[in-house]
Amino acid sequence: MNDQESLLLLTEQLRESEARYKHFIEVTADSIWCLEPSRPIPEDTPPRDCARILLEESTFTEGNRSFARRHGIQSVIGRCPSDLPGFWMSGQPSHAMAVASQAIASQAAGPSQNRSRQQDVMIAEVDAQGRVRHLACSLYPVESSLGLKAIWAIERDVTTKVEEENLLRQSQEFYKAIAETALDGICVMDGSLTLIDCNDAFAELTAESREDLIESGVVKLQPLLGIKDDPVSFESIAKLGRWRGEAILTRRPVSDAALHTASSADAEGRSGSGLHGEATGPKELRVELACRVTEVESGARYYCFVRDLSERRSAEKRESDHQRALAHVARLSTLGEMTSGIAHELNQPLAAIVNYANGCARILSSQGVEDPMITRGLSAIAEQGRRAADIIRRMRSFSRRESDKREPFRISDVLSEAIELSIPDLHKAGIRIDTEFATTSDIVVVDGIQIEQVTLNLIRNAIEALTASRAVRQDSPARPAGHGALPGKSDGESGMTVPRASSIPAAAPRILIRTTVSPTVQESAAAESTCTKEGDAPQGERPQVTISIEDNGPGIPESVSARLFDPFFSRGGQGIGLGLTISRSIVESHGGRLWYAPGQDGASFHFTLPLRSAPILE
C-alpha cells in the first residue's frame, strides 16, 4: 500500500470517527454547545463586562439537538444567547456572571494558547414551557494569547435531583422543627437500645442535658403491661412493630443531676434553670410510651414518644377528690335533715321528763313531804332536761335550711352561741378559750345562724390545728370565757360543772376570740398589709366590727396560706375543703371581708361585718 492509499484510509477512518462522535453528541441527553465571542476577551476584563459580551456579542458555533430542543427551536448555530428565551435566566445576569467569573478564573490560573481548563458551575434556565431548570454545567474555556476566544459547555439537567433534594431538606427541617418544639419527649434507639438522638423535651424528662444523654447513649425506659405493671421487653415490641402503653423512665439521681447542672451552667456561663427544675423531681417517672419499630441496614430502630403522666394523674386525683367531696357534701346534707328530724322527736320525751319532774316536786310539796335529797334530785332532773332541750334546739336551728333572714344581733351573743356549740370539742382537746369582746355597741344586722356557722368553722379549724401540732392534755377541761366567763352568762346559767378557763395553764393550747369596733385607718392599713391576697382586707373607715379568732399553734406555711380559700383545699386532708370557701361567701354576702393573717404565735383569721348604722348589702 503506497502513501496515497494510506492517506485515503486514514481520511476515511477520521471521517467515520467524526461521524460517530457527531452522532453521539446529537443523541446524548446532555446539552453540548460552543459559544464564541465576536473578539477574544482579555483576562483583565471585569466579570460584568465579560458577561455582557457573552450574552450580547457572542454566537453559538455548535449546539446539539438536546440543547436546541430545550429552547424549543430547531438549531442554535449562529444565534446570540440573548435571542434564546430563558438562557441563563435572561434578565438575571447572575448566572452569566458566574460563567464569566469561572472563565476569567481559568485564564488567571495560567493562560495558554489552545489550552482548556474545566470549570463546574450550577446555573438555572427557563425552558420553553416556562419551568425553571437546574443545570450542572461543565465549562471548557478555550484561551489564546489575546484572551478567551471560545467556551465549550456540557450541561446536564439535574432539576429532578435538585427538587428532590429541596423537598428532602424541607421535610427534614419540618420534622426537626416538630421534634424540637414538641412538648412530648422523642427519642430514637438502635437495636441494642442505645440512644441515637432525642429532643430537648426528652432530655428534660431524664434530668440530663441533651448532649450528655446522646454521648452516654444510656436510656432506662421500661415498658409496662396490664394492671399488675408486668415488664415488657423491647424485643417483644419489635416483633409487634408498634406498641403503646405506660412505662417507667428512670432519671439521673437528684443530687447528681443538680451537681451536673450547676457545673455545666458555670462552665457555659448560663443559669441552667431548666434542668434544675427537672432535677428536683422524682427519680422515676410514670410516662405514656408510644413506640414504632422499623428495620434499617444496621438493624432495628425504635422511635419512642414519651409523655409525662404526672400532671394527668394529678388532675385525675383532683377530679376524684372533688367527686368524693361532693358525695360527702350530699351525705352531710342528708345528715342535717336527719338531725333536724331526730331533734324534733327528742324534744317531746325531754319535755315530758321536765314536766314529770316538776309534777312530782309539786305533788310532794302539796302532801307536805320535805325531803331535801328528793327535792334536789327532781330539780336536777328538770334542769338537765331543759339543758338537753336547749342543746337540741341549737342543733336543730343550726341544721335547718331557712331563707336568709337578717335581724339585729349583738355580735358577742352570736359568738357566744358558737362557743357553746364548741364546748364538747374544746373539753375533749383540753384547749383554753378566751374572749375579749368590745364594750361599745356591737349591734349588727345579720343572719345569726350563718354568722354562727362561720365562727364555728373557724373555731373548729383552730382546734384541729392545735390538736395536730402538740400533745394536748386530754383530761384538761375547757371553759369558754372572757377573762374568766362568757359575757352575760354565769356558771349557774350555763349548767356546766367545769372549772373556769383560768384554771388551765396559760401555756396550754389556747384560742382567743376578740371583737374590735370601728377600726382606725392605721389599724385597717396594718390589717391589709398582712393579708394573703390583694383585696382581702377591710376597706376604708366605715363603721364595722372586726372579729378575730387567734390560736397559739404552729401557724400556716406561706405556701399553704395562699390556697386557704380555694374550693376543695384541705390542710389536714380530713375535711372536704369547702369550709373557708363557704365562710368567705357568707361574710361577703353580709358586706364584710374574711382573710387570714399570720399571728404572733400561730394563725389568725379575721372577718368584718358592718354595724347597724352602716348600709346593709343585700
pLDDT in tens, 200-239: 999 999 888 889 888 888 888 889 886 667 788 888 888 8
Same domain, 374 and 410: no
**SS3 of residue 133 by DSSP:** strand
Residues 374, 376, 382, 385, CA torsion sign: negative
SS (H, E, C) 9-73: HHHHHHHHHHHHHHHHHHHCCCEEEEEEECCCECCCCCHHHHHHHHHHCEEEEEECHHHHHHCCC
Q: What does the pLDDT read at residue 207?
A: 87
The more confident residue out of 471 and 566 is 566
Same domain, 102 and 233: no
- Which residues span the domain enclosing 134? 13-160
What is the value of pTM for the model shown? 0.46
The residue-averaged pLDDT of 507-532 equals 63
- Note whether residue 488 is domain-resident: yes
Q: Is the pLDDT of residue 337 over 90?
A: no
Contact, 508 vs 553, CB < 8 A? no
The residue-averaged pLDDT of 502-510 equals 58
Q: Mean pLDDT over all residues of the chain?
A: 76
Q: Point out the least confidently predicted range of 175-189, 289-303, 396-410.
A: 396-410
Residue in 264, 248, 267 with CA at minimum distance from that of residue 208: 264
Same domain, 409 and 528: yes
**DSSP run (H or E) holding 329:** helix 310-366
Quick: pLDDT tens for 339-384. Answer: 767 777 788 888 889 888 888 988 888 888 888 888 888 888 888 8
- Note whether residue 172 is domain-resident: no
Residues 118, 121, 126, 129, CA torsion sign: positive
Q: How many domains, the chain?
A: 4
- Residue 214 CB coordination number (10 Å): 16
CA distances to 1, 13, 21, 604 from 10, in Å: 12, 5, 16, 119
Residue 607: left (phi > 0), alpha (psi -120 to 50), or beta? Answer: beta
Q: Is the pLDDT of residue 321 over 60?
A: yes
Same domain, 343 and 413: no
Same domain, 264 and 236: yes
Same domain, 46 and 147: yes
Residue 477's pLDDT band (cuts 50, 70, 90): very low
459: cell is 373555731
Q: What does the pLDDT read at residue 196?
A: 92
Quick: pLDDT tens for 12-50. Answer: 888 888 888 888 888 888 999 999 999 898 888 887 888
Q: Point out the least confidently predicted range of 63-77, 179-193, 458-472.
A: 458-472
Q: Is the pLDDT of residue 116 over 70?
A: no
CATH number at residue 346: 1.10.287.130
CATH number at residue 592: 3.30.565.10
- Note whether residue 484 is domain-resident: yes
Beta bridge partners of 510: 432
Same domain, 189 and 303: yes
Contact, 333 vs 399, CB < 8 A? no
User: Where is the domain boundary, 363, 382, 401?
Assistant: 401
- Note whether residue 321 is domain-resident: no
Same domain, 428 and 556: yes
**SS3 of residue 164 by DSSP:** helix
Quick: pLDDT tens for 425-458. Answer: 888 888 889 999 988 878 899 888 788 888 988 9
Residue 255 contacts by C-beta under 8 Å, 6 or more apart in sequence? none
Same domain, 234 and 293: yes
pLDDT > 90 in the chain, percent: 16
